[in-house]
Amino acid sequence: MWPPSANDRGYAELQKVGVYSKLTAIFQDVFEDETLVVNPTLSADDVPGWDSLRNIRLILAVERSYGIKLTASEIGKLQNVGDLARLVASKL
């Protein structure tokens, strides 16, 4: 549920390490939209222009920005930005 409650420790932990703020900057760059702000429930259905090519650019930008590698299996399981944020945090 967005916005998260004060008791949502998973979201709070990710905020502490700055995952959402960094992902917001990445999304703004990839989608060329300075007004775009990510949240855990945001998905491809919510962002105009989020097609397969943009998805590849997004994943590459995330990997480059964080210095991590995501497997095809991990990427295939992602349903929303919350899933992506948790996956990124697990690799830091």
Has residue 7 been placed in a domain? Answer: no
Residue span of the structural domain in which 29 resides? 22-34+41-90
Return the CATH number at 30: 1.10.1200.10
Give the model confidence (pLDDT) of 15-72 as tens digits: 655 888 999 999 999 999 999 999 999 999 999 999 999 999 999 999 999 999 999 9
Residue 14 in domain: no
Contact assessment for residue 84 and residue 23, using Cβ atoms and an 8 Å cutoff: yes
Q: What is the pLDDT of residue 91?
A: 87
* pTM (two decimals): 0.81
Judge whether 82 lies within some domain.
yes
User: Using a CB cutoff of 8 Å and minimum separation of 24, what contacts does 16-20 make?
Assistant: 17/89, 17/92, 19/85, 19/88, 19/89, 20/81, 20/85
Total domain count, the chain? 1
